[in-house]
Amino acid sequence: MPESQPPRAPGSKAARLRAQLNGSSVVRAVGAHDGLTAKLVQRAGFEAVWASSFEISASHGLPDASLVTMTQYLDAAIAMDAVTDIPVIADCDTGFGGPMNAAYAMQRYERAGIAALCIEDKLFPKINSFADAAQDLLPTEDFALKIKNAAEVRTDPDTVLIARTEALIAGLEVPEALERAHAYVAAGADAVLVHSKSRRPEEVLEFADGWQSDVPLVAVPTTYHTVTESELYGAGFRLVIYANQGLRAAVKGVQEVLHELDLATGAAAVEERIAPMAEVFALQGMPSSFGTKP
């Protein structure tokens, strides 16, 4: 039986995300891995945070290969949700195992107040979609059972369950990806993320052209980055996830500053290129009077 929990207050983040997915413009989510990066996403004006398994794994210095546990992912998502006012969409990889694991994840994330969960149809343990490795999929009916189990234990109808198909990543054709995605909607998915590593957007746009459902589509334009949000919205995509740009920017920026600092004779060489302490304090919510006497 589903765990009982008090209903969320009107205007919950999950309810707002559902309303946004039915709105007149695309919802933009950006990847984050902790409370600080989630705050930066909100401050920049985006509508949602993507609690990225890739970013969270990288923040532990580990590959995105099902090495980080569900508890670690959940703790990171909770930290993001606690310090932001926008919905958090949790990247839950394959659901952390079989159908019972996916159902358990739904219960835990929903109880924690996370607005949405995204589960993908690869085998557990998975490896990152862009890694040079085999991308093996579950049979359609097996993954549909995961979605069905997760949907059935949901106690708040506003919680968004996103089914992610990796069919195109695995080298299957668009018709096979569509067949899988329609089966996931029949099993209870509220949205479908179709992932692609093509350098051009035609593959996902062809998928959208063949989509026969009112359930919203989700795009992750990491490799086909020339596509615009308006083009995706016109094709039927209602959520666009910039899944890793923030982390990649941080890695490049830190590498460059540390390299310059290594070559310099003191910290003055990089001072103009880094954020002042006051800005970090502001992100932390540090009181301006902290440490001063009345």
Question: What is the Cα–Cα distance from 77 to 55, expressed in whole angstroms?
Answer: 12
Q: Are 31 and 240 in contact (CB under 8 A)?
A: no
pLDDT digit string, tens, across residues 14-45: 999 999 999 999 999 999 999 999 999 999 99
Percent of the chain with pLDDT over 90: 90
Question: What is the Cα–Cα distance from 110 to 231, expressed in whole angstroms?
Answer: 32
Instruction: Give the angle 221-225-226 at the CA atoms, nearest 5°.
Output: 130
Give the CA distances from residue 114 to residues 65, 229, 285, in Å, rounded to whole numbers and listed in that order: 23, 25, 22
Q: Are 171 and 143 in contact (CB under 8 A)?
A: no
Active site annotation includes 64: yes
pLDDT digit string, tens, across residues 139-177: 999 999 999 999 999 999 999 999 999 999 999 999 999
The highest-level CATH class for domain 13-246 is alpha beta
pLDDT digit string, tens, across residues 56-99: 999 999 999 999 999 999 999 999 999 999 999 999 999 999 99
pLDDT digit string, tens, across residues 211-253: 999 999 999 999 999 999 999 999 999 999 999 999 999 999 9
- Domain map (residue ranges) of the chain: 13-246
Which is the catalytic residue, given 34, 64, 85, 142?
64
Q: Say what the pLDDT of residue 10 is.
A: 53
Q: Say what the pLDDT of residue 122 is.
A: 97
On the 0-12 / 13-18 / 19+ scale of CB atoms within 10 A, 287 is exposed
Give the CA distances from residue 264 to residues 258, 260, 273, in Å, rounded to whole numbers and listed in that order: 10, 6, 14
Tell whether the model's pLDDT for residue 287 goes beyond 90: no
Q: List strand residue ranges (DSSP E) for the chain, in order.
A: 27-32, 48-51, 88-91, 116-120, 160-165, 191-194, 217-219, 237-242
Q: What is residue 11's three-state secondary structure?
A: coil
Phi-psi region of 265 (alpha: psi -120 to 50; beta: other; left: phi over 0): alpha
